[in-house]
A and B are shown apart, each in its own frame.
Chain A
């Protein structure tokens, strides 16, 4: 499975530092913990970082989409990343953080445990994830990178946000 490189080049808005042709160009990522696992998201897709608030569950909810919350008047779906990535992790109510991401005009909230840091990585150091089929978790990973001796998994939010379902007739 090839990494979604458009993930980094797409926002035309931004600085030339995102141009993929220059391998040394830096891309900034937000690093966070889900349980004990560390993941990253491109900062370009991050709208805000908020604290947890009790979500309202949706009907027939699948386990990862825990419900919707009020984001200053917008109804925002929130996804428990631990469940979405099939990780064993702590009860989501323990000091969780919600990272609000935007993907082609859809907003969604990802519930994580802690936000650690902002890291800059050279675009060239990003590699496509291995094509080992696991429980759908692999679809969510856009790229991998080595940083400070750790393996970083960069997530692709569009795989996590609730898809637009057609009205079932």
Chain B
């Protein structure tokens, strides 16, 4: 007897083939990085694989397979939503579960009995997952079934914009039984004023009493949140359509405690960096969300976010609750930051090796002294420091240190000393690389620059300005530079790398004694304590660490020099002034100091400047978002952040602002000298 062609059988066969593929993908993902680590993408692939097996199995009523796959899927879901961390024990349990899944698939494929020990595998994965929230129609108490139903249905605009159409819903109701439908168009405006997608129409529908309420509610299932829906028995009021009652079993959800690590296990856990980054991002979003909440509540209370007014509601229950939420968020951020922070020791040890190599290759005895090895730096910063530091160490040995003989003649110890140190200072990480070599021969550097046409021969340059020439791209390429003392190979590359990190590099050097490079880096690429200010109609963030003080200023404190430079008197000192909005091109130069705020900022060279802004809003910890990938490098701007209202605010780079202002001043000066 020939079987009639059954498309379901074909699809079923196809399903088992698909399962083979999915299981392969699952084990590949779990195997990918070996025990103990799982990449983010691998987790998603693994999840989707199990999810698809479950979905297909359900369609063919393969209940054993469905329930086991569901169990595994639940655990994978906890991992992919960051609620559970991976350990090597867990990973091994997952692999065994994947094997059992294959066993079940094969049993289903061949129609043989499936082994019933699935629960053991799930137990090995951890505390049994909470049962899925069942989608049940509500078990409502029986109402007297003699009164007909009266349904009031008033769609909101969103019902229409979400693609729903009352026509289809009303049609569906008529299929339940004899319906009497009346339309209420009292709100209908003149046709020429009609906006078709607004909710001006409402309907009243009468349905026979015998129809189960569940059937009616089911019809409105998709739209209950975008309409006014009242279903009554003409005389009895029933709760207007809201949440569907959940299966009581589901409401007693067991809280999942990942108790995979027993006391006998390792005290540390290897976690993939991507997973931590993801956690970092999520915590960052939490901070933004908390900020948005604070902002919304503030706005709702009708309070402007100005320092004095905010204090008014300071001790209100809302304010206090928000405060503690803010503290909690901050604590979580700190805790995650601590996970990412690593001592620089391994990096420094690597640099020791680099130095020994360079020393051997160049035949110059040298040793590296490391200080502050326990200083902790965010992992992201450490990784990106390796290359520039390597460069600089090689340079130090190659160009900085003299040959052993020369050193002896000068009374220096034959073995050159290179010192690498790390410390925290002024809210930044300071990394210093110093050598006791020959120092920068500024005469040579200057001559070289003139020969290259980089500077005007008559130009008088300070020591600092000559040192700065070394970072010029024009210096990096020539091999001849290496024959003369003085650095030059690749320093512009180093500077670019450091700048990309949001850092700065400075040189100090004494001829005959040595050279020191100072790198100033942000503590982390993730968060920043900043002051939120307004200037030129825009909101900016200024890193708190760079701020010395703020002051409201008046005309009285202002002085203008002959060359147009403006000075302001702060802390008994005259400091140069920079109008933030004007410098960044948001407004024309505004010389009116009245009713403005001056913020005294500094860079790590202790250069100071007073920044003029319109308003200081508050202080906040903000999540740093990179700009350069999509927008390129923007002078004066370090990065961006997302404010509580969801808009982007730019984070200023104080050091660069100071630098820009001094360039501008120097340019003005040179013009005047030339003219």
> Do any CB atoms of chain A lie under 8 A from CB atoms of chain B in the complex?
yes
A59 touches B281 (CB 8 A): no
B585 touches A69 (CB 8 A): no
Specify which of B496, B635, B648 is in contact with A59 (CB 8 Å cutoff).
B635
Residues of B within 8 A of A166 (CB): 633
Shortest A109–chain B CB gap in Å is 9
A42 close to B (CB within 8 Å): no
Residues of A within 8 A of B288 (CB): 73
A162 touches B586 (CB 8 A): no
A61 touches B585 (CB 8 A): yes
Interface string of B573-615 (1 = CB under 8 A from A): 0000000000011100000000000000000000000000000
Q: How far is the CA of A165 from the CA of B636 in the complex (A)?
A: 14
Residues of A within 8 A of B632 (CB): 162-165
Q: How far is the CA of A107 from the CA of B625 in the complex (A)?
A: 14
A75 close to B (CB within 8 Å): yes
Shortest B119–chain A CB gap in Å is 40
9-residue interface stretch from B85-93, B98-106, B303-311, B639-647: B639-647
Shortest B614–chain A CB gap in Å is 16
Residues of B within 8 A of A107 (CB): 629-630
Residues of B within 8 A of A167 (CB): 496, 499, 633, 635
Q: How far is the CA of A106 from the CA of B629 in the complex (A)?
A: 7
Instruction: Given the known inter-chain contacts A73-B642, A108-B630, A165-B632, please indicate yes or no for A68 contacting B648, CB distance below 8 A.
Output: yes
B334 close to A (CB within 8 Å): no
A70 close to B (CB within 8 Å): yes
Residues of B within 8 A of A68 (CB): 627, 631, 640, 648
A77 close to B (CB within 8 Å): yes
B199 close to A (CB within 8 Å): no
Q: How far is the CA of A161 from the CA of B631 in the complex (A)?
A: 8
Q: How far is the CA of A32 from the CA of B503 in the complex (A)?
A: 42
A13 close to B (CB within 8 Å): no
A115 close to B (CB within 8 Å): no
Give the number of chain B interface residues (Cβ < 8 Å).
33
Q: Chain A interface: which size bin?
A: 20 to 34
B216 close to A (CB within 8 Å): no
B285 close to A (CB within 8 Å): yes
9-residue interface stretch from A4-12, A19-27, A49-57, A147-155: A49-57
Specify which of B584, B629, B650 is in contact with A56 (CB 8 Å cutoff).
B650
Residue in A closest to B623 when the chains form the complex, CB atoms:
A73
A2 close to B (CB within 8 Å): no
Q: How far is the CA of A70 from the CA of B631 in the complex (A)?
A: 13
A95 close to B (CB within 8 Å): no
A56 touches B471 (CB 8 A): no
Residues of A within 8 A of B625 (CB): 73-75
A75 touches B281 (CB 8 A): no
Residues of A within 8 A of B629 (CB): 105-107
Residue in A closest to B539 when the chains form the complex, CB atoms:
A56
A70 touches B646 (CB 8 A): yes
Q: How far is the CA of A126 from the CA of B369 in the complex (A)?
A: 65
B483 close to A (CB within 8 Å): no
Specify which of B496, B585, B631 is in contact with A75 (CB 8 Å cutoff).
B631
Residues of A within 8 A of B636 (CB): 59
A132 close to B (CB within 8 Å): no
Shortest B525–chain A CB gap in Å is 14
Shortest B281–chain A CB gap in Å is 7
Q: How far is the CA of A161 from the CA of B630 in the complex (A)?
A: 8
Q: How far is the CA of A165 from the CA of B634 in the complex (A)?
A: 8
Instruction: Given the known inter-chain contacts A59-B635, A70-B647, A167-B499, please indicate yes or no for A76 contacting B584, CB distance below 8 A.
Output: no
Residue in A closest to B285 when the chains form the complex, CB atoms:
A73
B584 touches A60 (CB 8 A): yes
B633 touches A162 (CB 8 A): no
Shortest A77–chain B CB gap in Å is 5
Residues of A within 8 A of B637 (CB): 58-59
A56 touches B649 (CB 8 A): yes
Q: How far is the CA of A161 from the CA of B632 in the complex (A)?
A: 10
A133 close to B (CB within 8 Å): no
B635 touches A77 (CB 8 A): no
Q: How far is the CA of A106 from the CA of B631 in the complex (A)?
A: 8
A75 touches B633 (CB 8 A): no
In chain A, residues 22-47, which have Cβ atoms closer than 8 Å to a Cβ of chain B?
none
A169 close to B (CB within 8 Å): yes
Shortest B485–chain A CB gap in Å is 24
In chain A, residues 61-84, which have Cβ atoms closer than 8 Å to a Cβ of chain B?
61, 67-70, 73-77
B538 touches A57 (CB 8 A): yes
A77 touches B584 (CB 8 A): no
B472 close to A (CB within 8 Å): yes
Specify which of B585, B630, B647 is in contact with A54 (CB 8 Å cutoff).
B647
B626 close to A (CB within 8 Å): yes
Residues of B within 8 A of A56 (CB): 538-539, 640, 647-650
In chain B, residues 515-548, which have Cβ atoms closer than 8 Å to a Cβ of chain A?
538-539
Q: How far is the CA of A166 from the CA of B492 in the complex (A)?
A: 11
B285 touches A168 (CB 8 A): no
Interface string of B313-338 (1 = CB under 8 A from A): 00000000000000000000000000
Residues of A within 8 A of B634 (CB): 58-59
Q: How far is the CA of A166 from the CA of B634 in the complex (A)?
A: 9
Residues of A within 8 A of B538 (CB): 56-57
Shortest A168–chain B CB gap in Å is 6
In chain A, residues 121-169, which have Cβ atoms closer than 8 Å to a Cβ of chain B?
161-169
Residue among A57, A67, A70 facing the most chain B CB atoms (10 A cut-off):
A70
Interface string of B283-297 (1 = CB under 8 A from A): 011001000000000
Shortest B539–chain A CB gap in Å is 8
Specify which of A54, A58, A60 is in contact with B631 (CB 8 Å cutoff).
A58
Residues of A within 8 A of B635 (CB): 59, 167-168
Residue in A closest to B652 when the chains form the complex, CB atoms:
A59
Residue in A closest to B284 when the chains form the complex, CB atoms:
A73
Interface string of B647-668 (1 = CB under 8 A from A): 1111000000000000000000
Q: How far is the CA of A30 from the CA of B640 in the complex (A)?
A: 31
Q: How far is the CA of A53 from the CA of B648 in the complex (A)?
A: 11
Residues of B within 8 A of A165 (CB): 632-633
Shortest B558–chain A CB gap in Å is 24
B630 touches A106 (CB 8 A): yes
Residue in B closest to A168 when the chains form the complex, CB atoms:
B635
Q: How far is the CA of A66 from the CA of B156 in the complex (A)?
A: 35
User: What are 13 A-B pairs with beta-carbon distances under 8 A?
Assistant: A58-B634, A59-B584, A59-B585, A59-B586, A68-B640, A69-B648, A73-B285, A73-B625, A74-B630, A76-B630, A77-B630, A167-B635, A169-B471
| Seed contacts A68-B648, A69-B647; 9 additional CB < 8 Å A-B pairs | A54-B647, A59-B586, A69-B648, A75-B631, A75-B640, A76-B630, A77-B630, A163-B632, A164-B633
Q: A-B pairs with the 6 shortest C-beta distances?
A: A59-B584, A60-B585, A56-B648, A165-B632, A75-B640, A77-B631
Interface on B for A, CB 8 Å cutoff? 281, 284-285, 288, 471-472, 496, 499, 538-539, 584-586, 625-637, 640, 642, 646-650
Interface on A for B, CB 8 Å cutoff? 53-61, 67-70, 73-77, 105-108, 161-169
